[in-house]
Structure formats: C-alpha cells, structure tokens
C-alpha cells in the first residue's frame, strides 16, 4: 500500500532569537511624504524594534544564517545600508550570503539617510544610525549565542487585509496610488513557528505582502505602523515569543484603510493581520509531528483515518547570493540634470521627489543597466528569497506556482533599497510605480526568471 503522510516544511537544528529597541529620539527628521507639513517627529506611537533570528545546523556551526527584521522604512543610499550590514558581517564573521538585513518598510519611521543632516532634526540621523548598527550587532551576537535545539516549521494561511492599490483616477487619464476594490489581491500568508525542545514557542515569523502606509502625511509620530499591532496580538498569545514581520512582494498591495493620522487604524490593521496569523498557528500540527494515513473505517461513508507520529525534520541549511543584470530605462535624466531641477524647484512635494531621484540615480549608476543582487536560502524544506527592490506580488505568486508543495517566503526591501519592479504590461500607464523606477520594462519578469533559476540550483544541491 502506498504510504501517505503530511508534514509541515521544517528545519531542525539550533535556533536563537534576540531583540533590541531602536526607537529614535523625538525631534529626528522624518519627512517620508511629500505632502507632509512637518519635518520632525513630535512623539512616539509605538517603539521600533530590531529582531535577529540565528539558524545553525549544530551547536558548533561556525557559519550560521542570521535574519534581521528592523522597523525601518527604506535606505536612501547604498553607503548607509552597507555601513550597517558590513559592520554586522564583520562582527559575527559571516560572508555576505549569510546575513539578511530586512526592513519592515514602515512609512512612519525616522530618516536613515546621513545626507539629511542639513534638514530639520537631521543632526540626529547619524548618531541614530550608529545606535541601530550597535543594536544590530548586539542582537545578532545574542541570537547566535543563545541558539538551542529547536524546529522551525512553516504553513500557509490566508489574510484578506491587503488590497490592490492601483486605482484608475476617475478624473484624469492616470493611475493613482490607493485602494482599488475592483482588482484582486494576493491574500497569501506564510507563518513560521520556531519551537524549542521543551515545546515552548521561541519565535514566530509572519511573511505577508502589504505596504505599511496606514499612517501618512498627517501623522507626526514615530510608528512601526500595523506591524506593532501585529506583534501585540501574536506575542501576547505565544508567551511573549518575538514575532518577526517579513514584508512580502507588496508593490501594489496596501490596506483599504490607509493614508491617515489616526494611530487607532494602524493598530486595527495590525490586529487583523495578527488574528489571521494566530488562526494559522492554531491550525498547525504539534511541533515535530506529521500525519500518517492508517486506513479507512467503513461508516455511513468510507472514512479516511490519519494519526500523528514523530517526524525528523531536515537539518539542511544553505545560503546563496546571486545577481541579475537589470536594464535601465532609456533617457533617464542624468545626475547633473536632476541637480539642475532641484536647484530651480520650490514646491515641497517636488523637492522630495527630486531628492529621492538623485539618491536613486547615484545608487543604480549612470550605465545602461545595473547589477542587482538577491539571496536564496534553503532552510530545511523551505525557501527564503530576498531582494532589495519593491516587487509586485507577481514575484511571490509565480515562484510559489513554479515550486508547489514547498513553503517559499519572499522578502522585499532586504540588503538595500532601490525601486519598484512593476509588471511589463503597466509600463505604458501614467503611474507612480512606473515613473518612480529607473528599471526598464521587463525588470520584474527578468527577476522572476533569475530567482527561479537560483531556486532550481539550490534545490538541485
């Protein structure tokens, strides 16, 4: 008889977790919205945190994988990101492939750009970044040192909080960035549960694609946005085990209730995601168990019966850094042209746009293409794909379609921040994600193919 079993994708090894507070000082520069009327943070809605998860095959594994999730928005320059990540790499003696510095992408966080030193509250940015760097090193070291035997298991769930945000403007021939109830959205939720040998949950991971843009230009408080409410719910029901939020491929996804100064709505959105994550966790099998089909019982209907049994999870652990050459748009303004536009602009929102364009142009260079790194980790049976851009959900949908039966976490805004990866078919539209990105049409499709090849290589090993 054919043996039928069902188990979660899992990794068995040594796992450690550590958290640090990275809340910035009040008064720091935090203009993230062109429409904002203020420049500095006047208070704190919720603290910002940095959480590190270390994965090792054995106690003496000298090359762990370290995943860091930080409540920060996005990097404006390569130099600021690399200064922090390289310091963590040096401190723990790891190579580039084995550390992922992931940002939850809050739009209510402080500036993390040293070039903002001349802005109101900008004098606080550099010492703040030094503090975040120190906290990242401390959390990574503690996670590695505290690692103990545990199992990390993954399961897919659903959450309907995210919605499409590409809305045809009813008053103009363009696409505006906001809730579009007529378009479907990827509702896939991926939850990871790390369980110690004594049965305690020591960490959870929530991978979901939804822009943290609940709090917008009206808000003057530092906040992790909905991620704070998510953590409250999940950690409050797992005996305080740290919850790492991993931002998915959310280029066109956001909550329906967004762009507000009302922190209660951010908390509400977080609770909705948190309850969905808890529901998924509650439906998981006990740690280290699988279902085994034992036969049928003849009743009013022939009933398939299953029983739980112990299972030994994979201890396979690998990390790969890959790259793809992504073409840039023809006719992009040069750095000198952007500087000239900045010199003559006097509208606040346009100055903000031009400053971002200048930083982006510096990051991708002046060539016809740019070298873009991405990372693929294999964690037991599961896969983690991380990259620095803001991909549309097509990336995670297609990778999961091509590799069915395997948990795949896709992470935007990791080890850097650059630009959107929109699908080819929208490049003819007047749309923010299209005119913001320096990448040519086909950039998303090319990234999907490169990631798929890398996954095949990793699985083939």
pLDDT at 212: 98
Contact status, residue 307 vs residue 289, Cβ threshold 8 Å: no
Rounded CA gap, 410 and 57, in Å? 22
Q: What is the pLDDT along the chain (461 residues), one digit of tens a residue?
A: 568 999 999 999 999 999 999 999 999 999 999 899 999 999 999 999 999 999 999 999 988 999 999 999 999 999 999 999 999 999 999 999 999 999 999 999 999 999 999 999 999 999 999 999 999 999 999 999 999 999 999 999 999 999 999 999 999 999 999 999 999 999 999 999 999 999 999 999 999 999 999 999 999 999 999 999 999 999 999 999 999 999 999 999 999 999 999 999 999 999 999 999 999 999 999 999 999 999 999 999 999 999 999 999 999 999 999 999 999 999 888 888 888 998 898 888 888 788 888 888 888 888 889 999 999 999 999 999 999 999 999 999 999 999 999 999 999 999 999 999 999 999 999 999 999 999 999 999 999 999 999 999 999 97
Torsion on CA atoms 419, 423, 424, 429, rounded to nearest 10:
-80
Beta-sheet strands, E only, within 27-185: 43-44, 49-56, 65-70, 99-103, 148-158, 162-164, 166-168, 175-177
Contact status, residue 383 vs residue 376, Cβ threshold 8 Å: yes
The token pair at 239 is 């005996």
Q: What is the DSSP string of 206-269?
A: EEE-----SB-TT--EE--THHHHHHHHHHHTTTT--EEEEE-S-TTEEESS-SBS-HHHHHHH
- 86 φψ region: left (φ > 0), alpha (ψ -120 to 50), beta (else): alpha
* Nearest partner of 231 among 16, 386, 21, judged by Cα: 21
Taking the mean position of all CA atoms in its chain, how far away is CA 382?
17
pLDDT at 357: 82
Contact status, residue 191 vs residue 157, Cβ threshold 8 Å: yes
* Nearest partner of 303 among 317, 311, 293, 312, judged by Cα: 293
Taking the mean position of all CA atoms in its chain, how far away is CA 372?
17
**Please, which residues have CB within 8 angstroms of residue 95's CB and are 6 or more apart in sequence?**
63, 89
**Please, which residues have CB within 8 angstroms of residue 420's CB and are 6 or more apart in sequence?**
251, 389, 390, 391, 392, 433, 434, 436, 437, 439
Rounded CA gap, 442 and 439, in Å? 8
Q: Which residues pair with 16 in a beta bridge?
A: 54
* Nearest partner of 18 among 140, 173, 156, 152, judged by Cα: 140
Contact status, residue 250 vs residue 207, Cβ threshold 8 Å: no
The token pair at 300 is 């009013």
3-state secondary structure of 419: coil
Residue 235: φ, ψ to 5° = -70, -30
pLDDT at 366: 80
CA contacts within 13 A on the Cβ side of 247: 39
Contact status, residue 187 vs residue 209, Cβ threshold 8 Å: no
- 284 burial (CB, 10 Å; 0-12 / 13-18 / 19+) is middle
Rounded CA gap, 386 and 136, in Å? 18
């Amino acid at each position: 008889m054919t043996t039928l079993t069902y188990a979660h994708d899992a990794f068995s090894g040594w796992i450690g977790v550590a958290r640090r507070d990275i809340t910035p000082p009040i008064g720091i520069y935090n203009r993230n919205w062109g429409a904002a009327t203020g420049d500095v943070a006047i208070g704190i809605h919720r603290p910002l945190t940095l959480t590190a998860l270390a994965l090792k095959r054995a106690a003496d594994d000298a090359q762990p994988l370290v995943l860091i999730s930080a409540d920060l928005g996005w990097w404006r320059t390569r130099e600021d990101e690399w200064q922090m990540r390289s310091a963590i790499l040096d401190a723990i003696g790891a190579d580039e492939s084995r550390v992922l510095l992931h940002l939850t992408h809050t739009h209510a966080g402080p500036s993390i750009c040293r070039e903002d030193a001349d802005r109101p509250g900008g004098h606080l940015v550099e010492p703040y970044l030094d503090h975040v760097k120190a906290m990242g090193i401390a959390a990574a070291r503690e996670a590695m040192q505290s690692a103990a035997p545990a199992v990390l298991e993954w399961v897919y769930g659903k959450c309907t909080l995210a919605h499409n945000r590409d809305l045809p403007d009813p008053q103009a021939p363009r696409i505006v960035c906001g809730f579009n109830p007529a378009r479907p959205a990827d509702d896939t939720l991926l939850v990871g549960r790390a369980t110690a040998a004594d049965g305690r949950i020591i960490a959870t991971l929530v991978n979901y694609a939804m822009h943290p843009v609940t709090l917008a230009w009206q808000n003057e408080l530092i906040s992790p946005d909905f991620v704070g409410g998510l953590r409250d719910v999940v950690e409050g029901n797992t005996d305080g085990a740290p919850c790492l939020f991993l931002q998915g491929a959310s280029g066109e996804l956001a909550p329906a209730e967004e762009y507000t100064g009302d922190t209660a709505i951010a908390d509400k959105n977080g609770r909705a995601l948190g309850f969905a994550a808890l529901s998924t966790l509650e439906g998981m099998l006990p740690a280290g168990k699988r279902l085994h089909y034992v036969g049928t019982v003849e009743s009013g209907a022939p009933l398939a019966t299953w029983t739980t049994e112990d299972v030994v999870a994979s201890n396979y652990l690998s990390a790969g850094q890959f790259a793809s050459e992504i073409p840039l748009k023809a006719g992009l303004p040069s750095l000198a042209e952007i500087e000239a536009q900045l010199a003559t602009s006097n509208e606040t929102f346009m100055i903000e746009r031009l400053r971002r364009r200048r930083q982006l142009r510096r990051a991708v260079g002046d060539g016809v293409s740019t070298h873009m790194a991405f990372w693929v980790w294999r964690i037991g049976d599961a896969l983690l794909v991380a990259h620095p851009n803001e991909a549309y959900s097509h990336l995670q949908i297609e990778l999961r379609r091509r590799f069915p039966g395997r948990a795949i976490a896709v992470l935007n805004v990791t080890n850097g921040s650059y630009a959107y990866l929109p699908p080819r078919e929208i490049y003819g539209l007047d749309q923010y994600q299209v005119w913001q990105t320096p990448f040519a049409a086909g950039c998303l499709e090319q990234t999907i193919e490169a990631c798929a090849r890398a996954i095949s290589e990793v699985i083939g090993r």
